[in-house]
A and B are shown apart, each in its own frame.
Chain A
């Protein structure tokens, strides 16, 4: 059988997911829900209303790719209708929304997976495998960074620029790092952060956050999140332990860089690319892992409990940024 998939949200991530659903064996994209029906129609059968879609398209899987504050509404409806659920990160803008969704999914007994795609990025998966294999001994000090400009929605109202909706770079972007660090180093006990979005004069313009984490293991980590970098996207990671160090920098590992002469003869911006073989795209892999778990009747590999835990770290960082105090997580 083939799973019937309804995609909720035809924005940036919705478009990425739509492309992968279309090539996914065992799945069929049957509906795309978005109030902008032209955007939805670009990817599949468009619906402007979730309930109508549910009745007409009869999906098995609901894939929620809306802006963060709308996750709860669709996750609760999908759970109540007994659908399998894939929900993008960040799980929610508040812990109460996380808990409501967890309760709805548990009550309905439906399988659900969270889109912490970094776990499927080969450099992050590989770094975690190395650490697990003892490559650095006992991990002691980790540093990760995720640096870009403020997301550009091409003239549409930019919900990323509104901290009340997106949570800024801390919740929307370095949540990835929090999840990966928790996956690799265990539970976080203490959070201290500084960031720009809470300073009114920078809100919605640029964000830059530096967050320090302490783990139950005793390890410490420092996470950089930037929506203040005008040129390109860059990530770095390193874990230092008592027997070694691993480090990775996306700027040093791109296997292809294009430096194209502009028409006027001047220099253009060098554009690096880091392509993967077909089927090894991280976004494809995470969705494939979800489909595989459904087929096998197994718990999906990234649970909503994981999503809640990562969100909790990000919300703690935001609380620390707002209060200037350390936030302790029990």
Chain B
């Protein structure tokens, strides 16, 4: 059995990761640490596992894999602790960190301890994305020239809008997903980023609007809308869409389009009920392979997480500079 622990359930994705661990017959859910005892105890009870008041106590249990779902700024501390405890693999929630230096330190710490570091990019596991990637790699649209992406959502509030914990707003929260998908589709690294960033939806000091232009060398370009622009009444949480333009045609992907529409008179709402394949369970299943000592070629590594983070951070830099900026990588 593969022994798994979760370091912090601050990020809501921890719930679906926990469920995926519980549902996996090869895994044992050793326990949860959370700085908020009430939240940690409630989550542990929900998934029938133990609550630990300190990360070290949980890590002392001889875990094979650790999932880090703390607030962004705490990722480094928790990943380094897990690496130091000799686990086999760590799955860290995105964004990998809030600075390139932190992300690099995490990668280094894991490499030094011979620990496999993975970044949680569940969109990689969307069957629609897998099919898109297969078509692009198979040459269905010839040479890829441009990608128009969106990853919009509703504002998540809580610590996501506390820059001291999140490192930013909508841009750092959302840019990394599509930045990662673009790398897979293009097989190229981002070279420069231009961004218009704003806070007009909520009028706070954190960004809720992000329109990024991402360049991949001189000839291939992409744009990405990371805004928390979906209103409260929007029928779903948000979207991930990709319009991939090539010399031989266009592929349009809408990763979360597989919905039933529900008009609810009692609640006065219209909502989408998603029936497409879940991505979090597939991500965790791949992570459990790593934690069990197998390979998982589709999972995003720490380096992948760093590349995506660099795009988000370059966007903030560009908005401040009012010009495109080089992506500070390699």
Contact = CB atoms under 8 A, between A and B. Distances in A.
B156 interface: no
A22 interface: no
B324 interface: yes
Contact of B247 (A206, A214, A244, A326): A206
Contacts of A219: 198, 200
A312 interface: no
B211 interface: yes
Contact of A218 (B194, B200, B223): B200
B230 interface: yes
Contacts of A133: none
A224 B225 CA distance: 12
Interface string A219-233: 110101010111000
Contact of A212 (B146, B203, B213): B213
B171 to A, nearest CB: 12
A325 B323 contact: yes
Contacts of A208: 145-146, 245
B196 A214 contact: yes
Nearest to A220: B196
A228 B219 contact: no
B98 interface: no
Among A190, A206, A230, the most chain B Cβ lie within 10 Å of the Cβ of A206
Interface stretch (A5-13, A23-31, A135-143, A286-294): A135-143
A17 interface: no
A43 interface: no
Contacts of A220: 196, 198, 209, 211
Contacts of A326: 194, 322-324
A324 B194 CA distance: 10
Contact of A143 (B201, B225, B230, B324): B225
Contacts of B250: 226, 228-230
A194 B231 contact: no
Consensus secondary structure, chain B interface: strand
B182 interface: no
Contacts of A214: 196
Nearest to A328: B322
Interface string B71-105: 00000000000000000000000000000000000
Contacts of A120: none
B249 interface: yes
B317 interface: no
B211 A141 contact: yes
B227 interface: yes
Contacts of A241: 201
A194 B221 contact: yes
B188 to A, nearest CB: 15
Nearest to A205: B247
B148 interface: yes
B234 interface: yes
Contacts of A224: 148, 243
Interface string A227-243: 01110000000001111
A199 interface: yes
B130 interface: no
Interface string B140-160: 000001101010000000000
Nearest to B209: A141
Nearest to A192: B194
Contacts of B322: 190, 326
A242 B196 CA distance: 17
Given A220-B209, A222-B211, A222-B225, A194 B200 contact: no
Nearest to A213: B196
Contacts of A230: 249-250
A196 interface: yes
A140 B200 contact: yes
Interface string A136-155: 00101101000000000000
Nearest to B222: A210
A210 B225 contact: no
B172 to A, nearest CB: 17
A61 to B, nearest CB: 41
Interface in B210-225: 211, 213, 215, 219, 221-223, 225
Given A140-B201, A208-B245, A325-B324, A199 B221 contact: no
A196 B147 CA distance: 12
A203 to B, nearest CB: 13
A245 interface: yes
Nearest to B322: A326
Contacts of B249: 230
Interface of A: 138, 140-141, 143, 190, 192, 194, 196, 199, 202, 206, 208, 210, 212, 214, 218-220, 222, 224, 226, 228-230, 240-245, 324-326
Given A210-B146, A219-B200, A224-B148, 15 more contacts: A138-B200, A140-B209, A141-B225, A141-B229, A190-B196, A212-B194, A222-B211, A222-B225, A229-B250, A240-B229, A241-B201, A244-B233, A245-B230, A245-B234, A325-B324
